[in-house]
């Protein structure tokens, strides 16, 4: 989104924004809403680790995986091999630098990032993808499609943040249709 609002936007023919909000503070608020749906006893256990900054504790990780990731990141349990390999090799240092120490303790360099007011400057065909069970608010992504100049929204009703895995038929059919429409000039 940042690149598409810059002077380099002319290098794009179109853009797909898959499961990403244009406002980190709004994402954090939505994420808190999702967290509030977790059993209070589980939240109390998670807070025990969070208060100590013990975000890498395997017990904390297991709680987050069971009560959050398996519902909102990827709903295929166990994770498909490609998802699991990516999770096993993510760079925690970069994650914390950008996002904060946990999904539930947002911060880092993105803490105040919000380009919602700049979306109207995106002039290329733009597909915003959201999913019912996403970590990002699907309504925000639907709104983003109306804020860009040539927007379309794709909703994945069975998907999560990784709807390219857990709602593949809807996701890829929508992506392919968007690409075909852009290529044919009918978008």
| 57-115 pLDDT, tens digit each | 999 999 999 999 999 999 999 999 999 999 999 899 999 999 999 888 888 999 999 99
Structure tokens at 8: 């380099």
pTM beyond 0.75, yes or no: yes
Structure tokens at 95: 């994650």
In this structure, are 18 and 87 located in the same domain?
no
With contact defined as beta carbons under 8 Å apart, do 136 and 159 qualify? no
Rg (CA), the chain: 17
In this structure, are 12 and 38 located in the same domain?
no
Out of 81, 110, 139, a domain closes at: 110
Domain that holds residue 8: 3-23+115-184
Out of 84, 110, 136, a domain closes at: 110
With contact defined as beta carbons under 8 Å apart, do 123 and 9 qualify? yes
CA distances from 15 to 66, 95, 170 (A): 33, 24, 18
- 20-58: pLDDT as tens digits: 999 999 999 999 999 999 999 999 999 999 999 999 999
Number of domains, the chain: 2
- 129-171: pLDDT as tens digits: 999 999 999 999 999 999 999 999 999 999 999 999 999 999 9
| Relative orientation angle of helices 138-147 and 24-35, to the nearest 10 degrees | 160
Mapping DSSP to helix (H, G, I), strand (E, B) and coil, where does residue 151 land? strand
In this structure, are 70 and 132 located in the same domain?
no
């Amino acid at each position: 989104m940042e690149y598409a609002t810059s002077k380099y936007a002319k290098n794009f023919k179109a853009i797909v924004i898959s499961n990403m909000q244009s406002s980190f503070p709004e994402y954090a608020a939505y994420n808190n809403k999702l967290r509030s749906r977790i059993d209070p006893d589980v939240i109390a256990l998670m807070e025990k680790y969070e208060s100590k900054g013990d975000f890498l504790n395997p017990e904390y990780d297991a709680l987050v995986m069971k009560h959050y990731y398996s519902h909102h990141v990827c709903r295929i349990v166990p994770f498909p091999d490609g998802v699991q390999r990516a999770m096993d090799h993510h760079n925690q240092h970069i994650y914390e630098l950008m996002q904060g120490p946990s999904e539930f303790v947002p911060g880092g360099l993105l803490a105040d990032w919000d380009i919602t007011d700049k979306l109207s400057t995106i002039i290329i065909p733009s597909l915003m993808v959201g999913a019912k069970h996403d970590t990002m608010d699907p309504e925000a992504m639907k709104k983003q499609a109306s804020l860009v100049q040539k927007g379309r929204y794709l909703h994945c009703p069975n998907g999560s943040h990784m709807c390219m895995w857990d709602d593949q038929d809807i996701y890829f059919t929508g992506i392919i249709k968007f690409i075909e429409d852009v290529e044919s000039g009918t978008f």
